[in-house]
Structure 1
Amino acid sequence: MNRPDVPRAGARLEIDIDYLREQLEGLLAVPSPTGYTDNAVRHLCGELDKLGVGYDLTRRGAVRAHLRGQSANGARAVVGHLDTLGAQVKALKPNGRLELVPIGSWSARFAEGARTIIFSEKGAYRGTILPLRASGHTFGDEVDTLPVGWEHVELRVDAYASSVDDLTHLGIDVGDIVAIDPQPEFLDNGFIVSRHLDNKAGCAIMMAALKALKEGAEAPPVDIYWLFTIAEEVGHGAASILLPDIAEMVAVDNGTSAPGQNSSEFGVTIAMADMTGPFDFHLTRRLVELCDAHDIRRRKDVFRHYRSDSASAVEAGADVRTALITFGVDASHGYERIHMHALRSCSELLTVFTLSDMELKRDARPISGLAGFPRQPTLPAVQALSPDSRPPEGETD
């Protein structure tokens, strides 16, 4: 028999894997380095139109899709980012090549050899990022001894350009955006290798979960907002897209499956903390419980050199409970690798979470009294199970 004081756990909906893959392929095909995301926003909105999901756009293009629930109070949000890493032209060089600075935080080690698109006022050009000593026939061992860094690479434009004047004639100028080719591979064994899986894969996860919810017969208990931000890689994230009604927000992003980390390319990795501090105790614990209740493989991890969309929202003063679920990525911000198992698992968890009842009913109101405010364990486990550890008579949890 169900106890009335135990929140309903929700249902795990079936995820359309083919649709998830199609969404990821489509997103990867649209360049979207931070600052050049308009086309990706238009692409995503077209996919939302196909699902029949309404949405609003901010001035700069962040997308706030809306799935109505049984109540508008205490709404929830799921957030991921459309923008990716990239580069920007810092200077036109006398040899007709381009000096670059990175967009977002990534190593020039992974830029060397990358194929690119340069977006200029006169159109787009192809090019390649090369080390300053690119030819072994010319520089010998200097090719191997050249230091790693953005000051040690340059962009060779695939057009006639041997001087600053030539570059200017092409319409290329300081500040032009450079997109890095993703070069995706989808393998038969479920592995996916590409650049920009952070966070095109997170957005594909959200779309697959949203499709399953739209096709399901049950409405969520509360309204769900699906937020697609456009500047997470430079630290802006969800700071300006939240509504006051949103009580809980779950970010979807990559986990770092690397030595010293507990993330995995299989199942869901739930972040307990990132470089901005711990995620919400109660919401995070709830996600762990939902994984266990619905047989969704999960791990926990702590990220020391990492932040997500939720960090900027909290730093901006949003009073919202935040959590982060991740799909394990090997070689994050480089040639990344993930597995479809993790993408499906994250989508499944989103369906379970959005269909589950709110655990903290008081969160439906921005401000309220002590009644219903949660407790955190303070006693050893043995004591916590004893009758003496119960709340005093008449006190309400």
Structure 2
Amino acid sequence: MAFSRHGTGSRAAAAALASQVHPVFMLPPVAASLFGAILAERFAPGPLGLHVAATFFAVYTAHLKDGYVDFHRRGEDDDHPLTEAGCRWALAGSTLCFAAVTAALAFVSGPATALLTAPMWALGFFHAPQSDTNPVTTTLGYPFGIALAVVGGQHAQTGALAAEALAFGLVFLVTLAGVKIVDDATDYAYDRSIGKRTVAVALGISRGRRLAYALLYAGLTLVLVCTVDGIFPPTAPLAAVAFGLVAAVAARAGPSVATMLLVRGSYVFLAILVVAVWFRPLMGVPLPDIGMLGPYTYLATEVVFGAVALALLLRADAVWRAARTVLALYPIAFVWDWYTLTVGVFAIPLRTGVELAGIPIEEHLFMIVVPALVVGVHETLAGLDE
């Protein structure tokens, strides 16, 4: 029986099997498994090696099945190194290896770890032709596998679920879903011609791209929220900032270049998170206390955010629109602010003490800065859409 379509013998068969190891797509799941172990703050070699191996065989199965379906069944690909029989035998072998490793993982780390690991194979095996034609499943399959690798890698070490691993899994699920939507847009014309419903085909390129960047924004914001809540280490937001800068550049590029940038940005994202979790720099260091400014503290924050608002408005040429909005909202904000201060809803201790029309001068500035900032962000986003 021939394995390779381009040669005979064991060397050709080995080369054909090795061709299905795609480092660009295989390294992130394996790295996610290692990241899960880092979250556990311990490295038990047995569970670590078994879970990494299970992750590898799950992704390898996905590549084998994808190539088998796309070339031998759909005729989408121009070439494939394995024969049809070779694909089937390779799929059987990779599935057997995955099952053996997962069974060993159940013995070493417990049945729960095996239950968290098994879905990774299902995601890979049923990606094509079952789930890769639906906009939801084709988008979430790979990101969900990454999330499972993080959670399973941590569980393999400790035998218990941890909030930190679950939160990181959710972050990767949301952000990588955004990357996947952009990636799928590169094949928009072909996918549409064969009736393959990716998000780009279902929503259109423009709306799909907006959804992609909304998911990226949501995932990166989740990093900040989890850090403030104490789930993530203090330096984790640096990873979100780095990835956000890459995403901002990618937003102005076409699908192919944007995909290249976002994939590499996700590597940077993971690398910085690894450093943040492994070394935990700034852990225990208190936040800078701007209260040292005393009565000028509130005023100083308004100057900073007011400067940001003004810069956005100047860039978007929207100063007059912002001024009109501020004037329209000012009477409403004034009554609301005066009433809440009068009945004691909140207090402002770090202020100058200067009042105008019955409320602190800082509150008057607040009623200008906040609407201006909102308009500045809105107009900037509108400019990006155009």
Superposition TM-score tier, normalisation by shorter sequence: under 0.3
Higher helix share: 2
Structure having greater relative contact order (Cα 8 Å, sep ≥ 6): 1
If the length of structure 2 is used for normalisation, what is the TM-score?
A: 0.27
Higher strand share: 1
If the length of structure 1 is used for normalisation, what is the TM-score?
A: 0.27
Q: Which of the two has higher C-alpha Rg?
A: 2
